[in-house]
Copies of this chain bind each other. A is one copy, B any other.
Amino acid sequence: MDFTIRAATFEDCKDISRMILELAEFEKVSDHVKITQRDLEQDGFSKNPFFHGIIAEVPEHLKSREGHTKIGYSLYFYMYNTWKGRAVYMVDLYVMAEFRGKGIGKALMTKVSQLGLAAGCTQLNFTVLDWNKSSLDFYLKQGCWDVTSELGYHCMRCEGEALQHLAQGEL
């Protein structure tokens, strides 16, 4: 299929915001999404950005039923592993339903890997929902492994009032 992968720009934030919501709907958590187009513009495209992004785009004649030509994305950031050093973290990998199965997701992931290696990273990290078997199978087929199942690492989080309390040194 005819598509291109390129670095995301400020002007892509509207479409990224739309696709973040589509992905959350698929994951059945769209009410959890608080991020707006403006947040993405500020957080990804000002000095010291919190993330970087790439976009999958199709030519006009292949646009989606709703008229979109930006039909997939990945957001990533650089991180650190105290055993292995520089690493890249893939926050999201998304391709619109009607464009799946054409190698676009793989191409996005390939690009994130290339960017990571170029920056001296030795790991690509991400998370997957354990019920999302098609994604899990896709990632395992790419040679990825499940750190949680194999080593027992659990993702932990502190937010909201608990984070405020923690920062105040109270509890």
Chain A residues within 8 Å of B, Cβ to Cβ: 20, 23-24, 29, 32-35, 39, 43-44, 50-51, 75, 77-86, 89, 91-92, 106-107, 109-110, 113-114, 116-117, 122-131, 136, 139, 141-149, 151-169, 171
Known: A127-B153, A130-B153. 19 other contacts (CB 8 A): A20-B82, A23-B82, A29-B83, A32-B83, A35-B83, A50-B86, A51-B80, A75-B82, A77-B80, A110-B168, A123-B157, A125-B157, A131-B152, A142-B166, A143-B163, A143-B171, A145-B158, A147-B154, A148-B154
Residues of chain B contacted by A156 (CB below 8 angstroms):
125-128, 139, 144-147
Asked if B107 and A169 sit within 8 Å, CB to CB, the answer is yes
Contacts of A109 in B (CB 8 A): 166
Q: Is the CB of B81 within 8 A of A122?
A: no
Copy tally for this chain in the complex stands at: 2
Smallest CB–CB gap between A128 and chain B, Å?
Answer: 5
Residue of B nearest to A152 (CB): B130
Residue on B with the closest CB to A84? B34
Taking a contact as CB atoms closer than 8 A, the residue among B50, B84, B154, B166 that contacts A128 in the complex is B154
CA distance A34 to B81 in the complex (A): 10
* CB of A18, distance to nearest CB on chain B (Å): 12
Contact residue among B77, B124, B154 (Cβ-Cβ distance under 8 Å from A166): B124
